Amino acid sequence: MALTSIQRALPVVAGILKNGVGQILLAQRAGVSEAGKWEFAGGKIQPGEAARAALARELNEELGIHIGAAQLLTCVRWRGAPRALNLHAYEILDWQGEPTAHEHRALQWVAPTQLIHYAMPAPDRPIRARLALPPHYLITPEPLSDASTFLDDLSLALANPLIGIVSLRAKSLSAAALANLAARFLARARAQRPDLILLMHGEIELARQLGFDGVHLSAAQVTSLRQRPLGESAWVFASCHSQVELRAAQALGADAATLSPIKTTLSHPGQRPLGDQALSRASKGSFLPIYALGGMLPTDLATVRAAGAHGIAAIRGWWPAD
């Protein structure tokens, strides 16, 4: 539905500050509206004011700092409750002064991997996702071999330090076999790479029971679910193949999405690839971090980043060859 004059999106800015060890500054809200939640400091753009000028003014008022260079990270065009916003998030590259809580309850420096554990207003969460989610995402192939061989192949794949997210995808297994493999997958991956974000593909309740970091929903789940299936402290990814599905993923409250197929794949040789131009349009039209999927190789990261995607997702590109 088109926005009326009453619903017109409010233009706001937010500043992302990183300290010398890579921690990100969060500010705890005071007042009444979502008090106690954590956000990125900033505020409204006044009529006739440039976004960059508003950013400097707001961070001076709220934190007592004077900013230098700033780089736009993303614009979250939020159209949900409590009201429509166009939230321009900037990475602050340098500043003068020590951040002090002038208008917030408290300030906290937080490692990117820990941002998921801080409750935030919904429009801030896509910014959090861009800051916290690694760009390289491995989706496992179907475990057609025995479980032990599959897990040994997993260990070989995880020797690649680039991989930051892994999703267990196993549609062909019985419920009992899947539960057993998922538990062993989780134990093996956690022991080898405690830094990984581990997702369960499609199996929401199993992900919750075993303690996965989140779930990767199928496109059918994205369109059929009526509410986000896991709480805010878990990651929810969505499989998408079009801008329509991306909008459904946004409405559901997903944190990120894969878009596929970008290139021709061996698993779907007859399916027409979307290509880089469609990836670019989708990335510009969605505030979700998007992972390009389908025929991706590690060398494709620069290309998909240039098209606006957050990263690449791959199956065969990172899995040991048979």
Going by pLDDT thresholds of 50, 70 and 90, the confidence category of residue 82 is confident
Look at the domain 10-124 and name its fold: Nucleoside Triphosphate Pyrophosphohydrolase (3.90.79)
Asked if residues 147 and 66 have their Cβ atoms less than 8 Å apart, the reply is no
Q: What is the pLDDT of residue 7?
A: 63
Q: What is the pLDDT of residue 153?
A: 96
pLDDT tens profile 213-235 = 999 999 999 999 999 999 999 99
Residue 8 has pLDDT above 90, yes or no: no
pTM (two decimals): 0.93
Q: How far apart are CA 197 and CA 232, in angstroms?
A: 15
pLDDT tens profile 29-79 = 998 789 999 999 999 999 999 999 999 999 999 999 999 999 999 999 999
| Nearest in space to 253 (alpha carbons), one of 271, 275, 228, 272 | 228
Q: How far apart are CA 57 and CA 45, in angstroms?
A: 10
Q: What is the pLDDT of residue 316?
A: 86
Residue 4 has pLDDT above 60, yes or no: no
pLDDT tens profile 36-45 = 999 999 999 9
Q: What is the pLDDT of residue 273?
A: 85
pLDDT tens profile 244-293 = 999 999 999 999 999 999 997 766 666 788 999 999 999 999 999 999 99
Which is it for the CA torsion 95, 130, 296, 144, positive or negative? positive
Residue 3 has pLDDT above 50, yes or no: no
Give the containing element (helix H, strand E) for 86: strand 85-92
Average pLDDT in the chain: 94
Q: What is the pLDDT of residue 268?
A: 62
Residues contacting residue 179 through CB under 8 Å, at least 6 positions apart: 206, 210
Phi, psi of 114 (to 5 degrees): -100, -5
Asked if residues 118 and 26 have their Cβ atoms less than 8 Å apart, the reply is yes
Q: Would you tell me how many other CB atoms lie within 10 Å of the CB of residue 106?
A: 12
Q: What residue segments make up the domains of the chain, in order of their start?
A: 10-124, 136-314
CATH number of this structure's domain 136-314: 3.20.20.70
Q: What is the mean pLDDT of residues 136-151?
A: 93
List the Cα angle 51/53/56 in 5-degree steps: 110
Reduced 3-state DSSP string for 228-283 = CCCCCCCEEEEEECCHHHHHHHHHHCCCEEEECCCCCCCCCCCCCCCHHHHHHHHH
Instruction: Report the percent of the chain where pLDDT is more than 90.
Output: 88
Q: What is the pLDDT of residue 265?
A: 75
Residue 2 has pLDDT above 70, yes or no: no
Q: Would you tell me how many other CB atoms lie within 10 Å of the CB of residue 191?
A: 9
Residue 1 has pLDDT above 50, yes or no: no
